[in-house]
């Protein structure tokens, strides 16, 4: 093992990355899956996935002299807070704490800075998933995990509750071997998906996914999927929760990912101003869903809960002048 390799492992661990694996730089293996996903239109309204396709197809477009791809993972699994009941909605576990983009992006920058200082002439590039890097493809190539039927990178016997980042290096490190696929005949994630977003042949149709619909999708949510959202007001964990590979994190999880907003008070969401919602969700992944979207989601979940105590707030939402929110509030009132 070279001095650079040792330094990468040591510094990454010091910064909280519990898993580090290496792949050779170049076109990601199995990138045909990404192209097939785009060709089928499964990226729905996420045009950025098509626009960044060429950059994702070969990491050397980000760092021409890249020879190694270092894949970094940081666990975020936390025990689920108890269900408070009442007029509350569920939040996907990745969004319970601080926004991982800022936290992990900063640590990747610290890692690159430390390596470049220790190894003059070393060139690096790093990214979390907001940059054009195919993290899950690289995680599979580097042997960090395998690509599960739920479309997530899974570490055998440990699970998928971790964030990914990639770092390119201009020096060659010995690559790690891929791990074999371990889903076998299991189909728990396919069977539990409320909307049938997961495909039998592998992959996902984003337009049916509750995470996509509640976070990325603008405008009305198709009526066929509203009742299937259940109490999910932001994201969905169903396909992860049922995976038999899920186990508690082995090491400490950063306090930044502690559950601060695992459940949201839906009437308060509906009544809040845009600025109040932005202030409330400052520094949280929840800010990704614009105020209109989170209120739309809240109205649907109140309809799914079916508690008559929500009638007054839904009536105000219906009559408040926002056309899309009014439609969803009216749908929810019909469910009470």
Q: Is 146 helix (H, G, I), strand (E, B) or coil?
A: strand
> What is the distance between the alpha carbons of residues 56 and 52, in angstroms, rounded to a whole number?
6
Q: Is 141 helix (H, G, I), strand (E, B) or coil?
A: helix
DSSP sequence for 302-317:
HHHHT-GGGHHHHHHH
Choose, from 129, 176, 256, 330, the residue flagged as catalytic. 129
- Look up 237 and say whether it is catalytic: no
Q: Is 193 helix (H, G, I), strand (E, B) or coil?
A: coil
Residue 319 DSSP symbol? T
Q: At what angle do helices 100-118 and 3-14 cross, to 10 degrees?
A: 150
Cβ-contact 28, 130 below 8 angstroms: no
* Cβ-proximal residues to 132 (8 Å cutoff; 6+ apart), any chain: 52, 55, 56, 62
The tokens describing 60, both together, are 């050397």
> What is the distance between the alpha carbons of residues 212 and 214, in angstroms, rounded to a whole number?
6
| Strand 153-154 with 146-147, pairing | antiparallel
Residue 192 DSSP symbol? H
How big is the CA angle at 82 (ends 80 and 88), to the nearest 5 degrees?
105
> What is the distance between the alpha carbons of residues 285 and 280, in angstroms, rounded to a whole number?
11
Residues facing 70 on adjacent strands? 22, 167
Give the sign of the dihedral formed by CA 202, CA 203, CA 207, CA 210.
Answer: positive
Q: Which CA distances in Å does 167 have to 49, 98, 107, 108?
A: 20, 22, 11, 8
Residues involved in catalysis:
129
């Amino acid at each position: 093992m070279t001095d650079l390799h040792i330094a990468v492992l040591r510094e990454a661990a010091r910064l909280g990355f519990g898993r580090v694996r290496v792949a050779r730089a170049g076109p990601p293996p199995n990138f045909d899956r990404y192209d097939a996903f785009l060709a089928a239109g499964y990226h729905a309204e996420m045009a950025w996935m098509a626009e960044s396709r060429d950059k994702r197809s070969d990491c050397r477009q980000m760092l021409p002299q890249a020879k190694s791809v270092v894949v970094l993972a940081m666990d975020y699994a936390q025990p689920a807070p108890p269900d408070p009941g009442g007029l509350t909605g569920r939040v996907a576990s990745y969004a319970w704490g601080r926004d991982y983009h800022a936290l992990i992006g900063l640590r990747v920058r610290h890692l690159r800075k430390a390596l470049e200082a220790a190894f003059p002439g070393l060139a690096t590039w790093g990214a979390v998933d907001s940059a054009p890097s195919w993290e899950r493809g690289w995680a599979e190539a580097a042997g960090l995990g395998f690509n599960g039927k739920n479309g997530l990178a899974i570490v055998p016997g440990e699970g998928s509750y971790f964030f990914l980042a990639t770092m390119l290096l201009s020096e060659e490190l010995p690559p790690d071997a891929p791990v074999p696929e371990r889903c076998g005949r299991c189909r728990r994630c396919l069977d539990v998906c409320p909307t049938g977003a997961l495909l039998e042949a592998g992959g996902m149709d984003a337009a049916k996914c509750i995470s996509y619909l509640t976070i990325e999708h603008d405008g009305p949510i198709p009526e066929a999927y509203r009742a299937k959202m259940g109490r999910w007001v932001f994201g969905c964990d169903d396909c992860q929760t049922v995976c038999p590979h899920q186990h508690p994190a082995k090491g400490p999880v950063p306090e930044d990912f502690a559950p601060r907003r695992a459940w949201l008070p839906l009437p308060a969401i509906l009544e809040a101003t845009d600025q109040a919602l932005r202030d409330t969700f400052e520094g949280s992944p929840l800010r990704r869903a614009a105020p209109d979207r989170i209120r739309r989601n809240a109205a649907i979940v109140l309809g799914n809960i079916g508690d008559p105590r929500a009638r007054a707030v839904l009536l105000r939402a219906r009559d408040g002048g926002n056309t899309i929110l009014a439609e969803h509030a009216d749908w929810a009132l019909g469910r009470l």
